[in-house]
């Protein structure tokens, strides 16, 4: 009897792991997680993304009204942002001049990801095509293009958002920033080279796990990530009321001109 030599067999090729569907969450007619609703964060990241102690605000005369509450940072794996040396100096300079230079003082648009952790709610309007994110602060809004992606045609405060689904996670790729927005009131910032990738994953019917990876070779030594939960507003007749702050900053922006 002829005995053939054994032939070595390669192990079967692995297929990429597929995210298991999340149970117990609302879904749209096409089976996608239903993000429709009004959402809000519960953290102090708008004061400072990094770990921080309570301290007086830039306007001491405002007392406790303008003071900064203590808070844990939302940066994953570190308590500090990996700035390049020259960018860190810029951040420190921003902090010293924050009472006048923070774009929030002037009611400028907040940018991404700051819009999602400002102390105001925002609303997600989801369809089978594109999605709308509209924010209470300053009437800020952005469209997440799902059906047909578009490259950023010009640099803007809120950037250009293109989205896709990774299983049950909404992934939003944001580029085309103008580099003028700050990340918080502590002077943390990015340049116009910023690239943000957001991930929205429903943990249950009323909670979203939010993650954002920030990459900016002009300001940071490496990409870094923030994460925190977003909570659905469930009060009766919940609705988004816009905080139109432009009318409150005219004296700050143009007061010296009117006096002349």
Write out pLDDT tens, residues 167-192. Answer: 999 999 999 999 999 999 999 999 99
In a domain, 2, yes or no: no
In a domain, 130, yes or no: yes
pLDDT bucket at 10, cuts 50 / 70 / 90: very low
Average of per-residue pLDDT across 135-154: 96
Q: How confident is the model over 108-120, as pLDDT tens digits? A: 999 999 999 999 9
Residue 32: per-residue pLDDT: 96
- The domain total for the chain is 1
Residue 5: per-residue pLDDT: 44
| Between residues 174 and 253, the one the model is more confident about | 174
Q: Which domain holds residue 225?
A: 37-259
In a domain, 229, yes or no: yes
In a domain, 175, yes or no: yes
Residue 25: per-residue pLDDT: 95
Average of per-residue pLDDT across 45-54: 96
d(CA 64, CA 118): 19
Q: Is the confidence at residue 8, as pLDDT, over 50?
A: no
In a domain, 6, yes or no: no
Alpha helices in the chain (DSSP H): 85-96, 98-101, 250-259
**Percent of the chain beyond pLDDT 70?**
90
Can you read off the two tokens belonging to residue 216? 């900016």
In a domain, 237, yes or no: yes
In a domain, 20, yes or no: no
Q: Which residues of 204-232 are buried (b: 16+ CB within 10 A; e: fewer)?
A: eeeebebbbbbbbeebbeeebbbebebeb
């Amino acid at each position: 009897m002829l005995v053939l030599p054994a032939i070595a067999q390669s192990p079967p090729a692995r297929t990429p792991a597929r995210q298991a569907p999340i149970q117990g969450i609302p879904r749209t007619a096409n089976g996608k997680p239903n993000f429709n609703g009004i959402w809000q964060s519960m953290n102090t990241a708008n004061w400072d993304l990094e770990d921080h102690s309570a301290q007086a605000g830039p306007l001491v005369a405002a007392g406790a009204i303008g003071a900064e509450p203590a808070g844990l940072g939302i940066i994953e794996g570190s308590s500090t942002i990996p700035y390049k040396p020259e960018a860190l100096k810029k951040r420190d300079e921003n902090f010293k001049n924050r009472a006048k230079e923070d774009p929030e003082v002037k009611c400028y648009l907040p940018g991404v990801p700051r819009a999602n952790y400002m102390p105001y709610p925002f609303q997600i309007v989801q369809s089978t095509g594109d999605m709308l994110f509209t924010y209470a602060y300053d009437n800020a809004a952005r469209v997440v293009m799902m059906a047909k992606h578009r490259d950023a045609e010009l640099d803007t405060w809120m950037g250009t958002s293109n989205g896709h689904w990774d299983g049950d996670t909404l992934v939003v790729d944001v580029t085309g920033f103008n580099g003028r927005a700050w990340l918080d009131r502590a002077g943390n910032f990015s340049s116009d080279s910023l690239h943000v990738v957001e991930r929205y994953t429903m943990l249950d019917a009323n909670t979203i796990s939010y993650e954002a990876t920030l990459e900016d070779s002009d300001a940071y030594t490496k990409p870094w990530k923030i994460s925190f939960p977003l909570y659905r507003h469930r009060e009766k007749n919940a609705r988004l009321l816009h905080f139109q702050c432009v009318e409150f900053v005219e004296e700050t922006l143009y007061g010296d001109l009117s006096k002349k």
